[in-house]
């Protein structure tokens, strides 16, 4: 779900000279910072939770260091009313692939959290089906295996007040933001639309395995995603599978920063050494 009302500032590129290739941080750009190909041999493309923003990845570059370039990804065509969701997952993923373009042709990791995990999986699957370059590893967090029902399907039946209260209860929405009614009205519409996007994924789902390794992260106390539902990702991993259970709930990267970034850093290190 959502964590921040705005995107973070761009991180300054490493080194004094301008980067060889820059993706601008325009309002509709798919990445939220410059890309410097001299920073490590691999990029980590991050897809944020439903209703959230690239602010979810604030601090990741500092935590992981210069061995990897952390690239927060903007969802293409996104608007406060969730109009981008009306094109459905296939159309949204196709737009995402088109916007990311050459970033997907160099060594990269995909990390998606909650809704971002579904988008990352569908992007990797689309590329596998078209014989295109895959991520070195698909990293997914806080999301059940894609063939399973979405855990937030019941949210569509909640009133706005009930949905806000529920989001506060499991730590998605800081209680301090409840007083900002204008921001809430905008974000509730967005989060409803993006939850609906996830809920529609299992309809007509076709089961295929990915040839790249799949690494799954989950919080031991996540009230939305069970241990069994994340373990079921193994059914989609044809190139190797690992499950990483960490202390914390749905937002364990925030609640267990040291443990999470230590585990993530261990996965990045062999790729950065190439």
Alpha carbon distance 246, 253 (integer Å): 9
**Is the model's pLDDT at 26 over the cut of 60?**
no
Q: Which residues contact 122 (CB under 8 A, 6 or more apart)?
A: 89, 90, 93, 146, 201
Predicted confidence band at 141 (pLDDT cuts at 50, 70, 90)? Answer: very high
Alpha carbon distance 57, 48 (integer Å): 8
Q: What is the pLDDT of residue 82?
A: 81
**Is the model's pLDDT at 3 over the cut of 50?**
no
Q: What is the pLDDT of residue 200?
A: 74
CB 220 within 8 A of CB 245: yes
DSSP 142: S
Q: What is the pLDDT of residue 159?
A: 83
**Is the model's pLDDT at 28 over the cut of 80?**
no
Q: What distance lies between CA 196 and its chain's CA centroid?
A: 16
**Dihedral of the CA atoms 147, 236, 55, 181 (nearest 10)?**
0
Averaged pLDDT for residues 123-129: 96
Alpha carbon distance 193, 164 (integer Å): 15
Left if phi > 0, otherwise alpha if psi is -120 to 50, otherwise beta: which for 64? alpha
Left if phi > 0, otherwise alpha if psi is -120 to 50, otherwise beta: which for 15? left
- Among 130, 128, 148, smallest CA distance to 205 is for 148
Taking residue 131's Cβ as centre, other Cβ atoms within 10 Å add up to 7
Q: What is the pLDDT of residue 39?
A: 47
Q: Which residues contact 199 (CB under 8 A, 6 or more apart)?
A: 149, 150, 152, 153, 156
Alpha carbon distance 165, 173 (integer Å): 9
> How many helices (H) and strands (E) are present in the chain, helices listed first?
8, 6
**Can you tell me which residue has the tokens 């519409």?**
189
Left if phi > 0, otherwise alpha if psi is -120 to 50, otherwise beta: which for 82? left
Q: What's the pTM?
A: 0.82
Q: What is the pLDDT of residue 22?
A: 29
The H or E element containing residue 157 is none
Q: DSSP letter string over 88-129?
A: HHHHHHHHHHHHHGGGGGSSEEEEEETHHHHHHHHHHHHHHH
Left if phi > 0, otherwise alpha if psi is -120 to 50, otherwise beta: which for 164? alpha
Query: Which strands, in side-by-side order, build the sheet including 214-219?
Result: 69-72, 43-47, 108-113, 137-141, 214-219, 241-246
- pLDDT tens digits, residue range 196-236? 888 777 666 787 899 999 999 999 999 889 999 999 999 99
Predicted confidence band at 6 (pLDDT cuts at 50, 70, 90)? Answer: very low
């Amino acid at each position: 779900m959502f964590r921040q009302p705005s995107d973070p500032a761009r991180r300054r590129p490493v080194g004094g000279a301008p980067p060889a290739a820059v993706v601008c941080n325009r309002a509709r750009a798919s990445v939220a910072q410059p890309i410097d190909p001299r920073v490590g041999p691999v990029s980590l493309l991050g897809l944020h939770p439903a209703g959230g923003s690239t602010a979810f990845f604030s601090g990741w570059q500092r935590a992981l260091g210069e061995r990897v370039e952390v690239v927060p990804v903007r969802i293409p065509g996104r608007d406060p009313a969730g109009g981008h969701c009306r094109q459905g997952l296939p159309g949204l993923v196709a737009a995402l692939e088109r916007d990311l373009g050459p970033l997907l042709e160099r060594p990269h990791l995909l990390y998606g959290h909650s809704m971002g995990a579904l988008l990352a999986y569908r992007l990797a699957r689309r590329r596998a089906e078209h014989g295109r370059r895959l991520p070195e590893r698909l990293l997914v967090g806080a999301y059940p295996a894609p063939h399973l029902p979405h855990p937030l399907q019941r949210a569509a039946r909640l009133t706005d007040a009930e949905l806000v209260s529920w989001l506060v209860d499991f730590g998605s929405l800081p209680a301090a933001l409840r007083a900002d009614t204008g921001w809430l009205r905008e974000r509730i519409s967005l989060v409803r639309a993006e939850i609906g996007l996830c809920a529609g994924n299992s309809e007509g789902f076709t089961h295929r395995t990915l040839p790249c390794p799949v690494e799954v992260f989950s919080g031991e106390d996540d009230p939305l995603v069970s241990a069994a539902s994340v373990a079921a990702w193994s059914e989609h991993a044809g190139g190797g599978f690992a499950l990483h259970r960490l202390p914390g709930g749905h937002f364990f990267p925030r609640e267990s920063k040291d443990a999470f970034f230590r585990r993530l850093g261990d996965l990045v290190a062999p790729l950065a050494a190439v």
